[in-house]
Structure 1
């Protein structure tokens, strides 16, 4: 007997052109097409906003799919399922009958299923003499085969858009953090620049960041923040480069980069008068005009990242953490406790720890770390040594190396 599939819904539910279009597409399905029903369902779930489905509707669709025994749906398969409302409610986490009816209508409206209503609106299947199903009335899952590729493309587009939105928000977060900290460094260290102007520009951009918005809005704000970040970054780099180019490096810094082992011995054995004679007037003037503030811990760690490996837990958050790592580094470098104790008394514990970090960073270029530290302690006692040129030179070397890699 030839089957007849109804094209209009039972009762007061009206027929729409969308329903007719879904039925036309179902009849035109490729008979050789085969899809994995749960893969298609995953794509529908990813693209639910684009499809127009609700979370409750997807729960019902999941239940409908579970009533079909096959996992692979074929174009020539009978894909009609006919569970009762009670069975659907049970598998759809116990929603009310009114909610079930409302979201079943959503599935039909979205074209995810097709109604195949019986004359009396009941869902059932009529079987033949041999037990095979001759006629079924219920919900046709053919759109899951017909629109499988469409759902996949929609899901891929949604995932790509979600990833792009996440990356845009990450760009904004990173730029905001960098700009705030770089501006704070510029203000704290009295670096000549319009830091208040930078701060006002940042606040103007940050104040326009929406709580929720399309990805394009976040991309535009990220672009503005990156432009400001680049300006602030260039300001700091220009200061670092100009400071190191215009100022003669201190005698101590020349030793930290000197690969000649004999020169370290000469400094350790030289008298205070010989050291004073070798120091130029410009060298003394450079030390006098360096910032009076202590170096920020972040700059020290940026210039001397190797010291972090000696810290407990592999992390340095405070000056106390740096001092503890320096005590370990002192033993690793072969510096005697008395030499390090003297350096702490003359320079202060934080500056002595900074020197140890710098020596650790340039360890392969220093033949006698202990003698080198004693010579720096002597110069610090005479007011002829500051850690600023040492750290700035390391930062400049790091920047130049990065530029070469680019």
Structure 2
């Protein structure tokens, strides 16, 4: 590294000046300036002054340099900044190696012309480092963007773990009020306060393990409370749906799904409460259309609806939706109300597809139950 001496002020060390700089278009110069600002992070005033200096470049190198020579007065006029701010901004750009200074003996900025009016030399700011260091800054920007993406993935995982933990804690508090979840709740609140908000300057790495461990402990306590049964919508009356949820996998594997023989008439008799939300149904086309139109109001997402149609067909999927709505409005004796109809619909379609639920039998039970007087 060498030091450029002007005789009137000292400058920081700079790299060797190239013998010749290729001709660069002004657009390329502005792109390099924006890239530089993204990586080097100068102050807002310095970025404004840099972009303003780029506007003065005429596109022709002088003595192998991209020289511009606006006065401080002109820069203040173009930027609207004070002279002291312009001076500090220029000093920062030079110190960071974004610009080079070519100073005249008296410190003024100007160009010298020959007898033909051609510029032979000039004193001012050299914009050449913007082009020279463009590849270096591009590599740094790529590394910076990758780091930011890793941070985003980390913060996303923390958000997932935080929401899952909160959901588990709220569920335990609602269904198992005697269970002591105070320590888990305290750890959750402490972690929520200590975890930083999303920011490029903050790393989520120190908190990823803590949130993962907390979520694991909360889910373990949840599974223990439910006796290891992953089916939250568990009936307590030993009906076939409950039996199918708890059926041993060895008894269900390899069995093809049984085609449902449920008729439209049986479905309408079994689900009178669900039909109250729909227009009159005269055929299977009406059934599918009404189910598709109202499934959002029943809490069934489009993804779950599409999965159900792909698994068991549109007619049977529509029938399952009516069955879920009926069960939600009139739960089985001793059963908990359905809290998540969308998830229940999705699970029911999967069970029917796997042959683990006899939907025809479920409809027949609803018909028999509807004949009994309501309690």
Name the TM-score class by shorter chain: 0.5 to 0.7
Distance 1:58 1:370, change over 3 A: same
Bigger drift between 106-115 and 73-82 goes to 73-82
Aligned-residue CA RMSD (Å): 4.9
Aligned-pair CA distance for 1:180:
1.4
Question: Counterpart of 1:15?
Answer: 10
Equivalent-residue separation in structure 1 for 2:235 and 2:326 (angstroms): 28
Q: Deviations over 1:224-271 (max 9, x none)?
A: 111111222233345556347999982231579995568989xx9xxx
Aligned-pair CA distance for 1:138:
0.8
Unaligned regions of 5+ residues in structure 1, if any?
1-5, 269-306, 318-328, 383-406
1:83 aligns with 2:61: no
Bigger share in helix: 1
Question: Counterpart of 1:48?
Answer: 40
Aligned-pair CA distance for 1:115:
1.4
Equivalent-residue separation in structure 1 for 2:321 and 2:163 (angstroms): 38
TM normalised by structure 2 equals: 0.64
Distance 1:349 1:243, change over 3 A: closer
Secondary structure of 2:204's partner?
Answer: helix
Q: Deviations over 1:285-336 (max 9, x none)?
A: xxxxxxxxxxxxxxxxxxxxxx99843479579xxxxxxxxxxx99942999
Question: Counterpart of 2:168?
Answer: 182
Aligned-pair CA distance for 1:353:
9.9
1:172 aligns with 2:158: yes
Aligned-pair CA distance for 1:120:
2.6
Aligned-pair CA distance for 1:48:
2.6
Bigger drift between 28-37 and 143-152 goes to 28-37
Question: Counterpart of 1:301?
Answer: none
Pairwise mapping of residues 3-402 of structure 1 onto structure 2 (< 5 A)?
Answer: 7-9=4-6, 11=8, 14-16=9-11, 18=12, 21-22=13-14, 25-28=15-18, 36-49=28-41, 53-70=42-59, 77-92=64-79, 94-190=80-176, 194-210=180-196, 218-240=204-226, 242-243=228-229, 250-253=238-241, 254=243, 260=258, 310-312=294-296, 332-333=318-319, 344=330, 357=345, 368=360, 370-375=363-368, 377=370
Equivalent-residue separation in structure 1 for 2:217 and 2:320 (angstroms): 43
Equivalent-residue separation in structure 2 for 1:179 and 1:353 (angstroms): 18
Distance 1:62 1:31, change over 3 A: closer
Equivalent-residue separation in structure 1 for 2:118 and 2:82 (angstroms): 33
Secondary structure of 2:228's partner?
Answer: helix
TM normalised by structure 1 equals: 0.60
Distance 1:352 1:43, change over 3 A: closer
Q: Tell me, yes or no, if the aligned pair for 1:123 and 1:138 is still in contact at 8 Å.
A: yes
Unaligned regions of 5+ residues in structure 2, if any?
267-290, 302-314
